[in-house]
Amino acid sequence: MRTRGDFTDRERLLEQYGDSLRFRTRVDAHREFGERKESFHAWLVDRLDPQSGDHVADVGCGPGDYFQLLAGRGARVVGCDLSPGMAQEARRAGFPTVVADAQHLPLASGTFERVMCNHVLYHVPDQRAALLELHRIARPGGTVLIATNGTDTLREFDEVARQAGRDLGHELPARRRSPFTLEDGEVVRSVFPSARVERFENRLVFPEPEPAVDYLRSWIGGTGPLEDAMRRRIAGVIEREGAFRVVTIAGCFVAEV
């Protein structure tokens, strides 16, 4: 199985985001099994607060999941994503989308009243370069929103994996810390001094093992003895506690330009 530490490896990113299949498995799990039923997507758009007629850049747009929400506020949306497959899917939603690296955006300076960059910066080798690009394309007086996860998100998955490894007679390596979390405000404020943090905490509540295993498989891949051992561990928790509960911590930095 792959580890969750391969954050900026291009081969790994192509495996994860060449299309939306693996990504969609995780998004669907949050929608179906999240204890908090408020949409995280809608929560983010509320904090971006686009006004009718605003130009919005969605940097790292994936398959374009935010486009309709933004357009519903009257915004004019442009998407960009490093993955050609994701950009192609996003275009099918009917919005202009370009293949672009967040560190080198092919967008004019001072063009967008609103800029969003959601769950992207932990995949970017030079985060400050990307932040400077987000600042460059934002219009003075505009808003930039950058979504990411908290350091302690999904800890229960890590514990299950460690226990499963011990069941098989070996110790799994510790999870590498994400290169960009809600706790990394220093790098954000080096470019956006006014940035504030808002948090969105939830729990995934799995009544059966398989959806939890699907979530894990979508991220770390593979099948075999370790996956089977994790499935047994999750089933044991469900038998004892009625469900397997996983705390999720996400949120965003919001900055005025």
- Reported as a pLDDT band with limits 50, 70 and 90, residue 166 is very high
Residue 2 pLDDT greater than 60, yes or no: no
pLDDT tens-digit map of 27-49: 999 999 999 999 999 999 999 99
The CA-to-CA distance between both ends of the chain, in Å, stands at 42
209-218: average pLDDT: 92
208-225: average pLDDT: 85
H-assigned helices in 57-196: 67-72, 84-91, 127-137, 155-167, 185-189
Query: What confidence score (pLDDT) does residue 221 get?
Result: 67
Between residues 13 and 80, which one has the greater pLDDT?
Answer: 80
Residue 4 pLDDT greater than 50, yes or no: no
Q: In what helix (H) or strand (E) does residue 108 lie, and over which residues does it extend?
A: none
Report the distance separating Cα 227 and Cα 42, nearest Å: 34
Q: Which domains does the chain have, with CATH numbers?
A: 10-152+175-201+250-256 (3.40.50.150)
- On whether the pTM is more than 0.95, the answer is no
Residue 1 pLDDT greater than 80, yes or no: no
Q: What phi and psi, each to the nearest 5 degrees, are found at residue 113?
A: -70, -25
- Of the candidates 255, 253, 34, 43, the residue with the CA atom closest to the CA atom of residue 148: 253
Under DSSP, is residue 210 helix (H, G, I), strand (E, B) or coil? helix
Residue 15 pLDDT greater than 90, yes or no: no
H-assigned helices in 36-154: 40-48, 67-72, 84-91, 127-137
Contact 40, 200 (CB under 8 A): yes
DSSP secondary-structure letter at 240?
H
- Reported as a pLDDT band with limits 50, 70 and 90, residue 3 is very low
Residue 223 pLDDT greater than 70, yes or no: no
